[in-house]
Amino acid sequence: MWMFATAGNLSILDSPKGILHITASGRDKSKLTEHDFIQIELSSKNPLENTPNLKPSAETSIHTALYSLYPSISCVLHVHTPSSCALEFGLSRANPIQWIDLPNSEILKAFGDFTEEPNLKVLAVHNHGHVPDIASEMTHALENHQSKVPFFLIENHGITAWGQNVYDANKNLEAAEFVLQVMVARQKK
Ligand SMILES: [Zn+2]
């Protein structure tokens, strides 16, 4: 159960066609059917068909930016979790990004790093009210610094994880939430 209070969104890319299938705004993500997805052309970022009662997710710009950054991925999952909101990084409009140290826990092997002390960092971005600003800050940061983990954080908002397919992305999301829960527990000490 990831999609608390219907929030969050997920997308799958049909790479050969360059078509993104993304959950429409306001749908209950715990009961998804094919009718809850909207199709978007990745190159133009425009919806393919104008289904009158379906609106693309407000966070579509984050999904399209990630597919452009990482051509080999085909699934992006964006969720709101308590632990991603419990952690504070002190970001603001003036200081909108930061690379955060992840604790060297065993779960990091889920990201393919089997070194004893991987010392991985994750990107955290300020929760701009205008979502495309989050997408552009994220793109700029990930272009300038290669992320070794397949997820990033929006402060006081949530986790966005990606993968080669839906199973890979879900594994990455579970591992991300796990490591964030470890960070929250350590902060409480
Ligand atoms: Zn969100």
The Å distance, Cα 135 to ligand 1 centre, comes to: 12
The Å distance, Cα 85 to ligand 1 centre, comes to: 11
pLDDT for residue 1 is more than 60: no
pLDDT for residue 66 is more than 60: yes
The Å distance, Cα 177 to ligand 1 centre, comes to: 15
For the chain, percent of residues with pLDDT exceeding 90 = 68
The Å distance, Cα 79 to ligand 1 centre, comes to: 6
The Å distance, Cα 14 to ligand 1 centre, comes to: 23
Here the tokens at position 15 are: 């790479």
The Å distance, Cα 24 to ligand 1 centre, comes to: 13
pLDDT for residue 4 is more than 60: no
Taking only the tens place, the pLDDT of each residue in 35-64 is 778 899 999 888 887 666 777 777 899 999
The Å distance, Cα 99 to ligand 1 centre, comes to: 20
How much is the CA Rg of the chain, to the nearest whole Å? 16
- Please report, for the domain that includes residue 145, its CATH number: 3.40.225.10
The Å distance, Cα 159 to ligand 1 centre, comes to: 8
**Cα(159)–Cα(165) distance, rounded to whole angstroms?**
17
Across the chain, mean pLDDT equals 89
pLDDT of residue 187: 85
Query: Dihedral of the CA atoms 183, 186, 188, 189 (nearest 10)?
Result: -170
Taking only the tens place, the pLDDT of each residue in 83-139 is 999 999 999 999 999 999 999 988 888 998 888 888 899 999 999 999 999 999 999
Q: What is the largest CA-CA distance in the chain?
A: 53
pTM here is 0.92
The total domain count for the chain is 1
DSSP result, 85-98: HH------SSS-EE
- Looking at the DSSP assignment, which residues form a beta bridge with residue 100? 122
User: Domain span at residue 171?
Assistant: 4-188
pLDDT of residue 56: 78
Per mean pLDDT, which range of 9-13, 26-30, 108-112, 116-120 is the poorest? 26-30
